[in-house]
Amino acid sequence: MGGFAAGHEISGEGGTSVRGSVEIQLMEAPSLVGNPLKDPDWRQVTVYLPPGYARGQSRYPVVYFLHGFAGQALSWTNSSAFALTVPDRIEALIEADVIPPVMGVFPDGWTALGGSQWINSTATGRYEDYVFKDVVSFVDRRYRTLAHSGARVIVGKSSGGYGALVMGCRHPDVFGHMGVHAADAYFEYCYLPQFPKAASGLLRADGIQDWYDDFLVRVRETRMRSEDFPVIEILAMAAAYSPRMGEPLNLELPFEPQTARIVPEVWERWLQQDPVRFVPKQIEGLKRLHSIYIDCGLKDEYNLQWGARMLAEAFHRAQLVFLEEEFEDGHTGTNYRYDESLRYLCPKLATQ
């Protein structure tokens, strides 16, 4: 089924006009029909088209970008003073002849809890299916793509990096190249420190549904408070990793709200979804990839550099060919690192 296109020129640094374009499409997402959160099953998708696309007949490889927690399809085109957007960065690399002309596709993974981790869950919906089935098929129908795995990259940061790992492990027949930036990994370090903060936020409410209802009113009338973020983040992660139909928000917390004591059987369900645990078990999928890139900042506020190192160790043990990089920065404001993953992955894309 068709959608609408709202194309516009993108601008480079200093407002200089560049030759690519960005379209905002509305696409049908059959995988999200009937999702438990009643989130839309029609989604916006942002599409970057390289210079020359409109005037030619060539087909192009495609880079699929998965946003982090609380992101949306339109987040990628949000400009800030003196900075380049990610579509700007793609274009600059093409213009400099560092990468071949590629399309960039930015799906929308927003949920009423802020995110899905890009996996299928009975508490949020089938977001893994949505990406590798719905989004890819829509883009291949709507645009002149090279419609095979060797011409597709899946890349993301944080929750998006987690999603890229999932897609690379499970769907190498769809995505032949994978870029992983600061992925949620080694849950003991990235999530456990948030549990007492989330428990503190929940203490003032009569259960998670009461907290969530009050939260929605508060953020719509005023704004999110700093103490809200750990709660909504952990609720979203629980919806992804420990769904339980019939419970409030259809999820189970991995700790007791009144004491913050870990609930071992629920926590174990989380750990089964930890890339440090599941990647070694799904290494055969990664062996089918054409190229792999992984990085993380050495000052990551969520301690994700340690999970990245553990994943790189697993890649080494499996004798995978990949590039691992570390850099002096933290977790936020690091979209410039996409320059590095694209610089490594895109020249390896099939161009015919």
Amino acid 9: pLDDT: 39
Between strands 291-297 and 103-106, the pairing is unpaired
* CATH homologous superfamily, domain 8-186+274-348: Alpha/Beta hydrolase fold, catalytic domain (3.40.50.1820)
Amino acid 266: pLDDT: 98
Domain extent listing, the chain: 8-186+274-348, 189-272
State phi, psi for 158 to the nearest 5 degrees.
Answer: 65, -120
Amino acid 3: pLDDT: 35
Amino acid 352: pLDDT: 83
Between strands 120-121 and 62-66, the pairing is unpaired
- Over its length of 352 residues, how does the chain's per-residue pLDDT go in tens digits? 233 334 433 333 333 334 899 999 999 999 999 999 999 999 999 999 999 999 999 999 999 999 999 999 999 998 888 899 999 999 999 999 999 999 999 999 999 999 999 999 999 999 999 999 999 999 999 999 999 999 999 999 999 999 999 999 999 999 999 999 999 999 999 999 999 999 999 998 999 999 999 999 999 999 999 999 999 999 999 999 999 999 999 999 999 999 999 999 999 999 999 999 999 999 999 999 999 999 999 999 999 999 999 999 999 999 999 999 999 999 999 999 999 999 999 999 998 8
Is-contact 20 49, C-beta < 8 A?
yes
At CA 295, angle to CA 188 and CA 309, rounded to 5? Answer: 45
